[in-house]
Structure 1
């Protein structure tokens, strides 16, 4: 299935914005957010499934080392 997974990345900055959203709690963590107010649940689930496949593939490759 081909399609667009992201419409872009939103960033924020400026006075009073530190850009840290809990990823500072562990040196090996990341925050992944799916969807927004303009997305349907179907779109969010489809995106989560695609990211899960990539993470699963990466983990299996690491275990095979």
Structure 2
């Protein structure tokens, strides 16, 4: 795993937690921020996946 994969996964998990916390307290703004963090995290994770694929292909 590379750093983009790890950081992306952590941001995705953090976003899920933030979204659920927003649901628990009825705060839509926190829910939206959580969803945004999930999307950003998944995107970063996919970039890391692509980097890993390229790295493995050049070995």
Larger Rg: 1
Structure-1-length-normalised TM-score: 0.42
Indicate the structure whose relative CO is greater, using CA pairs within 8 Å and at least 6 residues apart: 2
Determine which structure has the larger helix proportion and give its number. Answer: 2
